[in-house]
Each structure stands twice: as structure tokens, then as C-alpha cells.
Amino acid sequence: MSLKLNLAAGESLLIGRARVTNGGDKRCILIVAGEERILRESLLMLEKDATTPARRICFVVQGIYLSDKSEELFPLYHETVRELVEVYPSLTMAVTDVSQAILAGRYYDALNQAHALVEMEARILEGVQREA
């Protein structure tokens, strides 16, 4: 199966362990065939940006998605989930959805759900800042 990707000028993505960047000044279309994991730059979470419980979960899930040995990251994932649920009990159901996707081996879906979790956490933090 092939995946058609439309990249803006200067946009990057990861294909496996390789970073691919559109070096031109116009959009380009890439067609990727094979089983490599692909991650757009807009979904990429850097370790330095994993500064909150939900962001740390997102970073770990990203590692699970990109890793050839995903199972080795499961203990770290569970530890990070416990931290999130302690801080934000209201996010328990959302993180359960991420966990179910991981258990089913749907790591890309889990990563998208983890990004949604980051957005939920941001809304909680905005509410706390407004109250203060």
C-alpha cells in the first residue's frame, strides 16, 4: 500500500529513522510505499518539550510508535500514565483510550489520541490560570 504525502516548502517528516525535508520553495508530493513508520514534523514531540504529564505521555507514545522494540517502553508508559492520572483524574478516560490503542497495536492511533490528550491538558491549565 502506498501513502501520498503533500509537503509544504521546508516541511519535514520522519520516514523510519530518516528525516526527509522538502528543500524546494513549492509544495511537493511524495509517494511512499512500504512498511516504514512515518511521522510528520507537526506531530513530532521533542524531549525538551515534554514538560507536562500529558506531553510526557505523548513523547513516550511517539517512542513506542517509532521504535522497533516498542514493548521495552511499556513500563515507562505505565509509569507516566500513573503520574498523569494522579495530577489530572479527569483525564482517566482519555488516557484509557490511548492505552487501549497501544494494547491493540495501533500505535499511530495512540499517538493521535495522545496529542488530543495534550490539548485537553492545555485547556485544563488555561482554566487554572484564569482562576488564579
- Per run of 10 residues, the mean pLDDT along the chain (length 132 residues) is 87 89 93 89 92 97 94 97 96 97 96 96 83 62
**Is residue 101 a contact partner of residue 81, using CB atoms and an 8 Å limit?**
no
Domain ranges of the chain: 2-42, 45-131
Provide the pLDDT for residue 97: 97
Longest dimension (CA), the chain: 52
Q: Work out whether the CA dihedral 45, 47, 48, 54 comes out positive or negative.
A: positive
pLDDT, position 127: 79
For residue 3, the model assigns a pLDDT of 86
Question: What cell does 52 get?
Answer: 507536562
Q: What is the pTM of this model?
A: 0.87
User: What's the rounded Cα separation, in Å, for the pair 39 and 44?
Assistant: 7
